[in-house]
Amino acid sequence: QVDWKPTMTVIEVSAQIALPDLLAAMEKLPTNELDELLQEARQLQIRRKEEAELLSIIQWQLPPAQADRLRELSQKQEEEQIAEQERRELLQLTDLVEEADVARAEALWALAQQRQVTLRDLLHQLNLERDLG
């Protein structure tokens, strides 16, 4: 009969664990495994912060007043009743939206890679299917 012992300590925890209980379980870990756990926790924290930054970029929208102004100026341009100063303002707003769209596309791609899903699946996860075109 072979006495087999796992190389890592196994600690039984319930599905929902309070922080004090988690800390108590961590106290039972050998130092090397505690170090590994803390390193993994730091990596998780970094990934969450990166994801939050990417989601912020993805969800950015032109403020309502600027969006209204963009629509107004676009309408004036279509009607060929736009002054030169308004045309410059329209170009600035258009540039802002285009730069945000590029940043959004890059953030979507980065988040899809981070989550290891397709872009289509990510858009579904974020309820952005309308962006599939």
Measured between alpha carbons, how far is 105 from 108 in angstroms, rounded to an integer?
Answer: 5
For residue 133, which amino acid is it? G
pLDDT digit string, tens, across residues 13-24: 556 888 898 899
In 3D space, the residue among 98, 8, 13, 104 whose CA is nearest the CA of residue 53 turns out to be 104
pLDDT digit string, tens, across residues 112-129: 999 999 999 999 999 998
Q: Is the pTM of this model over 0.85?
A: no
Distance set, CA 107 to CA 44, 46, 115, 123, 128 (Å):
19, 16, 12, 12, 14
Q: Are 63 and 83 in contact (CB under 8 A)?
A: no
